Amino acid sequence: MINRAKLQRLAAREGTPLLIIDHDIIRANFLKLRKHLPRVQLYFAMKANPEPMIIQTLHHFKSGFDVASLQEYQTVLENIPKKDLRGHKLNDFIWDKIIVANTIKPVATLQQITGYNTLMTFDNAYELEKIKQHCPDAGLVCRLRVQNVGSVVELSSKFGVEPGDAANLIDRSFDLGLTVEGLSFHVGSQCCNIDNYLNALEASAEIFKEVRKRGHKMRLLNIGGGFPVPYDGSVPDFEGLADKLRKEIDRLFPKSIQILAEPGRFIVATAATLIVEVVGKSFRDDKWVYYINDGVYGTLSGVIFDHIPYHFNAFKRGDKKLSAVVGPTCDALDTVSTAEMLPELAIGELLFVKNCGAYTNGSATTFNGFPKAKILNINA
């Protein structure tokens, strides 16, 4: 983690708001996943942070990429060094390095990516009909609906076929002449409940058996993402979770089954720090309110979209008092926190927020005309 003195120097040089992404931390997080889940092929979830230089850093570690749209698909290809594609057919690279993990894809997207044997998920018969017509060479992965109990961001209400219906849907795929390569699930983002994973693995193993009985062979299981980030002391230890997950995978699935995962938050959340400036202050409701030059319509969009509380740190020392921090826009929704312990600050002083690498700049806007934070990549 960058020390306070360096943060201040970078802010003085670059201006604020400034989002500093440390690629040494990205590498360390990626290698931690690889160490504790050695059997799992990792596909970075682009939605967590689409910064192009992150793609370049992870590509050097032979990471794959989980994309949800044609734009993300193209961004990956644009940021892979052309020399790494020499001697390879593009469809071979795409098959090994890109999975379209959005179960619903526009027809125009399917038409653009046909011909590359792209791996993609589905969870309903209507999507199969679209794929059959517009991208029949795709390798399909049937996404299951699994429990998301205790996860910060719940996904099962929107995605996944009921496990009891999965075999029939897979039968339908083969009847259409399509190829189903395997299953996928997602236990929800920032999952602190290991039972979500264990129950999903058990359900997946049973579906593999049923599909095999029906004469179809599948060769991969995608366990999604959701690995928890230590935002605070309440988050369970990752090593313990990974140990249980690794043992259950080995118990239920032979080595002939490829295991994939789509981590996003775990790789990038702790790798970025945001520096903001106090541009105004007032005393309201018996506490200081500090107006900063970024907010929930900008880098701190995760307050709304990601349900993560961000906490502010002051460079200034002194007695701390209950304070509020709000963004610069004309919307009262633009309130980042109503309960921060901060020393009394002057206009022009700086604050910083750690663990701002996931679901921040990726969902930032320029609402009210306020520009997005400048991104500074270090150790890239």
What digits encode the pLDDT tens for the residues 194-231? 788 899 999 999 999 999 999 999 999 999 988 888 88
Name the 3-class secondary structure at 45.
strand
Domain that holds residue 322: 4-19+273-378
The amino acid sitting at 184 is S
Last-in-domain residue among 268, 283, 314:
268
* Displacement of CA 266 from its chain's centroid (Å): 8
| CB-side neighbour CA atoms (13 Å) of 268 | 30
How many folded domains does the chain comprise?
Answer: 2
- What does the pLDDT read at residue 85? 67
Whether residue 159 contacts residue 187, with contact meaning beta carbons closer than 8 Å, is answered with no
- What does the pLDDT read at residue 148? 64
pLDDT at 363 over 80: yes
Give the integer Cα–Cα distance in Å for 252 and 133.
35
- What does the pLDDT read at residue 48? 95
Which CATH number covers residue 366?
2.40.37.10
Dihedral sign for Cα atoms in the order 89, 91, 92, 96: positive
pLDDT at 152 over 80: no
pLDDT at 151 over 60: no
Q: Retrieve residue 260's tokens.
A: 């994939």
Name the 3-class secondary structure at 139.
strand
pLDDT at 357 over 90: yes
The amino acid sitting at 247 is K
| CB-side neighbour CA atoms (13 Å) of 263 | 23
pLDDT at 147 over 80: no
pLDDT at 155 over 70: no
- What does the pLDDT read at residue 194? 79
pTM of the model: 0.93
Q: 263 preceded by cis ω (within 30°)?
A: no
Q: CA 300, 305, 308, 312: dihedral to nearest 10 degrees?
A: 10
Give the integer Cα–Cα distance in Å for 274 and 18.
6
Q: What is the mean pLDDT of residues 178-198?
A: 87
Q: What is the mean pLDDT of residues 144-171?
A: 77
* Displacement of CA 181 from its chain's centroid (Å): 23
Q: What is the mean pLDDT of residues 292-310?
A: 92
Positions annotated as catalytic residues are: 330
Q: What is the mean pLDDT of residues 134-144?
A: 96
Q: What is the mean pLDDT of residues 310-318?
A: 94
Task: Answer yes or no: do 61 and 47 share one domain.
Answer: yes
Which CATH number covers residue 136?
3.20.20.10
Task: Answer yes or no: do 114 and 193 share one domain.
Answer: yes
Task: Answer yes or no: do 135 and 200 share one domain.
Answer: yes
The amino acid sitting at 355 is N
The per-residue pLDDT for range 28-68, each reduced to its tens digit, is: 999 999 999 999 999 999 999 999 999 999 999 999 999 99
Q: What is the mean pLDDT of the chain?
A: 92
Q: Which residues contact 158 (CB under 8 A, 6 or more apart)?
A: none
pLDDT at 154 over 50: no
pLDDT at 286 over 60: yes
Last-in-domain residue among 236, 268, 300:
268
Task: Answer yes or no: do 146 and 223 share one domain.
Answer: yes
Give the integer Cα–Cα distance in Å for 36 and 43.
16
pLDDT at 153 over 70: no
How wide is the angle at C-alpha 126 spanned by C-alphas 123 and 129, nearest 5°? 110
Q: Which residues contact 175 (CB under 8 A, 6 or more apart)?
A: none
Task: Answer yes or no: do 65 and 174 share one domain.
Answer: yes
Q: Retrieve residue 230's tokens.
A: 């230590």
Task: Answer yes or no: do 141 and 63 share one domain.
Answer: yes
Task: Answer yes or no: do 170 and 91 share one domain.
Answer: yes
pLDDT at 149 over 60: no
State what percent of residues in the chain have pLDDT above 90: 80
